[in-house]
Amino acid sequence: MTNSMGTKLGRRQFLKTAAVAGAGMALAKSALTAEDGFKFKTSEDDLNIAIIGVGKEGQVLRDSIVRIPGIHVRALCDIWPYNLNASAGNLRAFGHDLNTYEDYRDLLAQEGSKLDAVVVATPDWVHAEHANACMEAGLPVYCEKEMSNSLKEAQTMVETARRTNKLLQIGHQRRSNPRYLHAIDTLVHDAGIFGRITHAYGQWNRAVQPDISVADSLALDAATLSKYGYENMHQLLNWRWYKKFGGGPIVDLGSHQIDIFTWVFGINPKSVCASGGLDYYDPSCHDWYDNVLCIFEYDVPNLGTSRAMYQVLTTSSNGGFYEKFMGEEGTLNIAEVPTRGNGAEREARVEEGKWLKYATQGLLKRSVTPIQINKTKNVQVDVRDTLPTGQWPIPVGMTKPAHQPHLENFFNAVRKGEDYKMNDIDGKGGSLNCPAWIGYETAVAVLKVNEAVAARKTLDFDPHEFHV
- Do 352 and 370 form a contact (C-beta atoms < 8 A)? yes
- Give Cα separations from 43 to 27, 28, 39, 191, 372 (angstroms): 10, 10, 11, 41, 56
Among 48, 83, 257, 442, binds ligand NAD (CB under 6 A): 83
Work out the burial of residue 149: count CB atoms within 10 Å of its CB; fewer than 13 is exposed, 13-18 middle, 19 or more buried. Answer: buried
Can residue 442 be called a binding residue for ligand NAD (CB under 6 A)? Answer: no
Nearer residue to ligand NAD within complex by CB, 3 or 100? 100
173 binds ligand NAD (CB under 6 A): yes
**Nearest to ligand NAD of 149, 331 (CB atom):** 149
Residues 6+ apart with CB under 8 A from 290: 248, 249, 277, 278, 279, 280, 281, 314, 315
Q: Which stretch binds ligand NAD (CB under 6 A): 139-147, 316-324, 353-361, 430-438?
A: 139-147
Give the number of residues in contact with ligand NAD, rule: CB under 6 A: 27
* Cβ 404 to ligand NAD shortest distance, Å: 12
Candidate residues 47, 88, 126, 313; the one interacting with ligand NAD per rule CB under 6 A: 126
Question: Which range in 76-84, 192-200, 377-385, 407-415 contacts ligand NAD by CB under 6 A?
Answer: 76-84
Looking only at the bridges linking them, the beta strands covering 71-77 and 47-52 are parallel
Dihedral pair phi/psi, residue 384, rounded to 5°: -85, -5
In degrees and rounded to multiples of 5, residue 290 shows phi and psi of -90, -10
Pick between residue 40 and residue 228 the one whose CB is nearest to ligand NAD: 228
Residues 6 or more apart whose CB falls under 8 angstroms from that of 11 comprise 427, 428, 429, 430, 431
State the virtual CA torsion across 437, 240, 112, 69 in degrees, nearest 10. -80
What's the closest the beta carbon of residue 287 comes to ligand NAD, in angstroms? 16
Return the number of the residue (78 or 424) whose C-beta is nearest ligand NAD: 78
Binding of ligand NAD by 144 (CB under 6 A): yes
Is 439 near ligand NAD (CB under 6 A)?
Answer: no
Please calculate the CA angle 398-399-404 and round it to the nearest 5 degrees: 85
* Euclidean distance between CA atoms 326 and 198, whole angstroms: 6
333 binds ligand NAD (CB under 6 A): no
Q: Looking at 171, 254, 343, 390, which residue binds ligand NAD (CB under 6 A)?
A: 171
CB of 359 to ligand NAD, least distance (A): 32
> Which residue stretch of 116-124, 200-208, 268-276, 414-422 sits at the interface with ligand NAD (rule: CB under 6 A)?
116-124
The helix (run of H) or strand (run of E) holding residue 40 is none
Q: In terms of Cα–Cα distance, which of 52, 110, 118 is closest to 79?
A: 52
| C-beta separation of 259 from 433 below 8 A | no
Least distance in angstroms from the C-beta of 420 to ligand NAD:
21
Distance CA 18, CA 10 (A): 12
Non-local (6+) Cβ contacts of 296 within 8 A are 258, 261, 269, 271, 272, 307, 308, 310, 445
124 binds ligand NAD (CB under 6 A): yes
Residue 291 sits in the site that holds ligand NAD (CB under 6 A) = no
Q: To the nearest whole angstrom, how small is the minimum distance from the Cβ of residue 220 to ligand NAD? A: 8
Residue 83 vs 389, nearer CB to ligand NAD: 83
| By the rule CB under 6 A, 424 interacts with ligand NAD | no
List of residues contacting ligand NAD (CB under 6 A): 52-58, 77-80, 83, 104, 121-124, 126, 144-146, 171, 173, 228, 236, 239, 252
